[in-house]
Structure 1
Amino acid sequence: MSTTTPPTHPQRAGLHRILIVGGGAGGLELATRLANTVGRRGLSEVTLVDRYPTHFWKPLLHEAASGHRDPASHHIEYAALARRHGFHFVQGELEALDRSECLATVGPILDLNGNDVLPRRLLRYDSLVLAVGSVTNFFNVPGAERYALPLENVKHAEEFRQKLLTACIRANHLREAGAALPEPTVNINVIGAGATGVELSAALRNAINLLSTYRLNSLEPERDVRVRLIEGGPRILPALDQRVSAQTHARLAGLHVDVLTATPVSEVRADSIVTVTGTELASDITVWAAGVAGPPLLKALDGVELNRQGQVLVDKTLQTLSDPRIFAFGDCAACPSSIVGVFLPPRAQVAHQQAVYLSQSFLRRLTGKRVDRFTFRDAGTVVSLGRAGALYQGDFGLGLRSLIVGGRAASGLYAFVYRRHLFALAGLTRMAIETVSQWLRARIRPSIKLH
């Protein structure tokens, strides 16, 4: 039974206590920026809370799941970054809030036997920032939560990669043994054709080809492994321009990905999925990438208003509607867009711009200056298809058609987004060293994880 300790981190007199919950792309960037500004100026003490000890950039999860990127080489240690920049790190998951006392309860950390490594703790705050990301929305489809894999974190990505590797090794062995096998032998279904589903499908095709080249020589990727991308709507990438959708569809077909549009899923079973028309599709591995919702922990926070997707309702300054001392941003927040009644989408660039805005607005608040409203400026969207290239769509608010860019320019933009994230956290020198290190590792190791 876990006990609760008194508030931790003794404070220096007069410091404004900013508590950030969630160390994803937005939360970690905000903690770093605040520590480098209001922290160094002696205006505030910054504390970051996350249930994990390390950070992995979520947009790269499809590469981890397909084996193209080893998470161990791309983790960022929260404690190390906190030491470097001067903020506190507390490991644990937010359990409850006492808004009247400005106290946050952080849950215990347990060992494999269920014993406390760290007890339940109480943290005081003057300003609380919720940046807890999102979870998979299964839309109450029967069997989906039980049998379909989400792709929310490194654990999920590794679970999928192991299932993929196991299925391919088994099929290769049976081919070597001369067994009579159905064609295809392995069926992988990716449900949801947004950016995550599209990028994962493309990465899987390349991964299976590499597995055949490096290790599984009897496996014929196109014959033995079917990759389906299933979308309930009329086209893939529904949030983007129809031209991007059409070009991406064609490139996926060229990669031998079976794209099924206008095919809503009504049930997920252990070895198949069922569409609304009653068609049963064989499935050895099912991935659910069809939508997101706010994490369940938000429902336990007394007095924090949520929308139907479980996201925190905020105003144009990213403050919650019920408590101006509580802020929320990123995927967990329902932030108004320039269109009445429409919220900003759960995208990495939204979280990045909101982190920049909050770092600046806290500095202005603490120095007695006026705070402007947050304005999102769409820098465009880039979708990576691995070796099949990338596509970029830019909307510049000029009343013109979207700019569509492909080829090396789009691939370069995709790589730049991750480098910008590293730069925001580690600075130019460390980002450059990390880039060179990753380039060297790619030259001396196989281009896919084989075990």
Structure 2
Amino acid sequence: MQTQQRIVVVGGGVAGIEIATSLARRRRDWPGAASVTLIDSDVAHVWKPMLHTIAAGTRDISQQQTTYLAQARQAGFSYQPGELCGVDRGRREVVLAEIRSADGRVLVPARRASYDALVVAVGSQANDFRTPGVASHCFKIDSRVQADAFNHELRIRVLQSFAHGEPLSIAIVGGGATGVELAAELVQLVDVAEGYGARGLAANIQIHLIEAGPRLLPAFPRDISVATSVRLQSLGVRVMLGTQVKAANAEGLVLDSGVLPAALRVWAAGVKAPSFLAEMDGLETNHNNQLLVLPTLQTTLDPAIYAVGDCAALTLPGGERPLPPTAQVAHQQAQYLVRNLRRHLSGEKIPDFAYRDFGALVSLADYDAFGSLGKFGIFKGGTIRGRLAQFSHIMLYRSHQARIHGFWRGGLLWLVDRLNARLRAPIRLD
């Protein structure tokens, strides 16, 4: 009699929730079946490329999040709250740290969970490069909780600025997609707020976007970088290129040229995986704490452990550097594992992962959007802008919803969003 195979997925981001959902729906087709467990320290999933809209308050977090318990019931996997802090490879167990409330009470005790196949999909976070003061004085928006916390403080500061007529300076460090899109969403927040009666608010708010490199969006073609910079400046954003942040404090940011006063400071520069991965029972990692994986996405030292998405470092044959930490890569790796994990557990040899670069998109709220078309398709290497790019950006999210909820349920969620856009305020006013 064949025993049930235990599949544990740690991390409920783009890759993790797609893997757990799809494997659970297919498990009845497996010899001996399989149990699928998703472990995450949070209680709900939000599509990571949308976090900047949650942070700005141009989308309501309650409408865009998917609670893990509800998804587990709908798809057929098990959900356990927990934070990965280690792995016992000899016993094939993940070690989970306790979860505490804000006041220090233990909500979930430390414990262990057994696996036959472990998928590590814990994502990434901004890299402050040990810049003094950043951890204490800057917000980050790498998670649902962090984005909501920034939005809470933002609404307080905006209300104070409007009520007292005082200036409010917001500094965003990092000219990648997150920083660029957050800057545009903040502009939209202020514009909409003025339409609700906050007259003169825009004149009191200054948004700074700081990038250490010579241009914004370094992963995009140069023409998109230039056009994005010009468009943001036309919206009133102060774009500061070639500017290093030396330190952060309660008053602002210390730059090469002096101190930039900023009441709100967001660090969106750099990418690294969680530091605990560097201590995962001897597994190999790089300088960014990413787990080194083979072309089968198995870690180099343990074939029972896979790593996908931002926390994995995979350099394809002929490549000079690992694949970028993007939602596109995470999705493709998730689908690869969904197709091949059953074969691995059955003892079959699985093919190598093949990545297709379909380009990248960046959205400047409702003002504009830009896209590069990547290396595949009829128009490979081209660029798009405006409504087509905005629609393409929207479809990325809707495709993700369809994968985790199913085509019809995902379509209904899109309809609900469209109705809410007509019936509810376009920004958070609470």
Normalised by the length of structure 2, the TM-score is 0.95
Q: Distance in 1 between matches of 2:229 and 2:238?
A: 10
Match of 1:66 among 43, 56, 69: 56
Give the match for residue 406 of structure 2. Answer: 427
Q: Which runs of 5 or more structure 2 residues have no equivalent in the other structure? A: none
What CA RMSD, in Å, does the superposition of the two structures yield over aligned residues?
1.9
**Structure 2 counterpart of 1:195, from 163, 177, 181:** 177
- Report the counterpart of residue 242 of structure 2 in structure 1: 262
Give the C-alpha shift of residue 86 in structure 1. 1.6
What is the match of residue 143 of structure 2?
153
1:111 Cα deviation after fit? 4.7
After the TM superposition, which residues 333-348 of structure 1 pair with which residues of structure 2 at under 5 Å, given as runs?
333-348=312-327
* 2:190 is the alignment partner of 1:237: no
Partners of 2:197 and 2:393 lie apart in 1 by: 29
Q: In the alignment, which residue of structure 2 is the partner of 1:246?
A: 226
CA distance, structure 2, for counterparts of residue 105 and residue 387 of structure 1? 44
Q: Kindly indicate whether residue 110 of structure 2 is the aligned counterpart of residue 131 of structure 1.
A: no
Instruction: State the secondary structure of the residue aligned to 1:17.
Output: strand
Distance 1:116 1:194 in 2: 37
Query: Partner residue of 1:173?
Result: 163
Cα distance between partner residues in 1 of 2:392 and 2:373: 12
In 2, Cα distance between equivalents of 1:408 and 1:414: 10
1:88 matched to 2:72? The reply is no
- Note the C-alpha offset of 1:112: 5.5
Matched, 1:22 2:11: yes
Q: Which amino acid aligns with 1:18?
A: I
| Contact preservation (8 Å) 1:39, 1:46 | no
Match of 2:88 among 98, 102, 120: 98
* Alignment of structure 1 residues 296-335 onto 2, 5 Å: 296-335=275-314
Residues 380 and 395 of structure 1 are in contact (CA less than 8 Å); yes or no, is this contact kept in structure 2?
A: yes
Q: Which residue of 2 aligns with 1:386?
A: 365
What is the DSSP-based 3-state SS (H/G/I as helix, E as strand, rest coil) of the residue aligned with 1:292? coil
User: 2-side partners of 1:438 and 1:174: how far apart?
Assistant: 35
Aligned residues: 429
Post-superposition shift, 1:216? 2.0
Alignment CA distance shift 1:370-1:268 (3 Å): same
Instruction: For residue 401 of structure 1, report the CA deviation from its aligned partner.
Output: 7.5
CA distance in 2, matches of 1:200, 1:216: 21
Q: Which one-letter code corresponds to 2:187 in the other structure?
A: R
When structure 1 is superposed on structure 2, of 258-267 and 116-125 the one drifting more is 116-125
Closer, same or farther in 2 for the Cα pair 1:40/1:398, shift >3 Å?
A: closer
SS in 1 for 2:366: helix
Q: CA deviation at 1:428?
A: 0.8
Cα distance change, pair 110–39 in 1 and its aligned pair in 2 (3 A): farther
Distance 1:400 1:444, change over 3 A: closer
Residue 45 of structure 2 contacts residue 144 of structure 2 at CA under 8 Å; is this kept in 1? no
Amino acid at match of 2:220: L
1:404 and 2:393 are equivalent in the alignment = no
Q: TM-score, normalised by structure 1?
A: 0.91
Instruction: Give the gaps of 5 or more residues in structure 1.
Output: 1-11, 176-180
Check whether the contact 1:16–1:43 (CA below 8 A) recurs between aligned residues.
yes
1:53 matched residue in structure 2: 43
Alignment partners' CA distance in 2, 1:154 and 1:439: 22
Pick the structure with greater CA Rg.
1
Rounded to whole Å, the distance in 2 between the matches of 1:85 and 1:398 is: 33
Is this contact kept in 2: 1:314–1:320, CA < 8 A? yes
The yes-or-no answer on 1:212 pairing with 2:194 is: yes
Write the deviation string for residues 93-147 of structure 1: whole angstroms up to 9, x where unpaired: 1222111111112233445654444333221111111000112210111111211
Secondary structure of 2:284 counterpart? coil
Q: How does 1:344-383 map to 2 (within 5 A)?
A: 344-383=323-362
Deviations 1:379-401 (A, max 9, x none): 11010001212111012269997
Q: Which residue of 2 aligns with 1:291?
A: 270
Asked whether the equivalents of residues 39 and 86 of structure 1 are also in contact (C-alpha less than 8 Å), the reply is no
Asked whether the equivalents of residues 69 and 448 of structure 1 are also in contact (C-alpha less than 8 Å), the reply is yes
Task: Indicate how the Cα distance of structure 1 residues 302 and 199 shifts in structure 2: closer, same or farther if over 3 A, else same.
Answer: same
Alignment pair present for 1:37 and 2:26: yes
- From 163, 182, 202, the counterpart of 2:153: 163
Tell me what 1:8 maps to: none
- Asked if 1 retains the 8 angstrom alpha-carbon contact of 2:11 and 2:39, the reply is yes
